[in-house]
Amino acid sequence: MATTSIDPRDLRHAFGRFGTGVTVVTTRNDEGEAHGATVSAFTSVSLDPPLAQVTLMRESKLSTYVSGQPFAINIMSAAQQATCLHFAGKPMTDGPVWGASATGVPVLAGNAATLECRPWAVYDGGDHLIVVGEVVALEITPGAPLLFFGGKFHHLGGLVGGAPWDFCGDGHLTQFTSVPQFAAV
């Protein structure tokens, strides 16, 4: 393993400069009870097959429960800050509100979106585990997402110039009859 002189606090601060959405990953513990944790390390992986990824602290309870069993990625809405804090270790007085699941995996109510996954693969990620799930059911609501930046929660702001392109310039070329030419600057 390579040694590094990067200060972990500086690295955490640098990572925090990347704004993300907020998720709560839920599954069942060894006793069959709902269990979850707030996770900001989430990304889409593939449309075909439909895959999504979360990165979990290796030493967390969630990482032991989610390995090899179904889980849900609850993409938090702007109204769910208290729920996020609950699953980050600051329990709510009344606890979270649970929703209906298509697959039986515990899901939260009020999400901006919910992805129900079956296990696909788990990879070593240093002090974290990279968990990839195959999305087998999903729900999307019109609610705005909850965002996280610089160690604080944020809400979605206005558009900044809209979408600067109509297609992905590095793929999906089969969708187009001709490839646009880009001029050198």
Each of the 185 residues of the chain gets a pLDDT tens digit; together they read 566 788 888 887 787 776 688 999 999 999 999 999 999 889 899 999 999 999 998 888 998 898 889 999 999 999 999 999 999 999 989 999 999 999 999 999 999 999 999 999 999 888 889 999 999 999 999 989 999 888 888 888 877 776 666 666 666 555 544 445 544 44
> Which residue reads 């799930």 in tokens?
133
**What per-residue confidence (pLDDT) applies to 185?**
44
Phi, psi (rounded to 5 degrees) for 181: -95, 135
Q: Which DSSP string corresponds to the chain?
A: -------HHHHHHHHTTS-EE-EEEEEE-TTS-EEEEEE--EEEEETTTTEEEEEEETTSHHHHHHTTS-EEEEE-BGGGHHHHHHHTT---SS-PPB---SSSS--BSS-SEEEEEEEEEEEEETTEEEEEEEEEEEEE-SPPBEEEETTEEEE----SS--S-SS-TTS-GGG-SSPPP----
Whether 62 and 74 have beta carbons less than 8 Å apart is answered as: no
Query: What pTM did the predictor assign?
Result: 0.82
Structural domains present in the chain: 8-157 (2.30.110.10)
**What per-residue confidence (pLDDT) applies to 138?**
96
User: Could you check whether the bond before residue 96 is cis, i.e. omega within 30 degrees of 0?
Assistant: no
Q: What is the CA radius of gyration of the chain?
A: 18
Whether 24 and 76 have beta carbons less than 8 Å apart is answered as: yes
| CB atoms inside a 10 Å sphere around CB 6 | 9
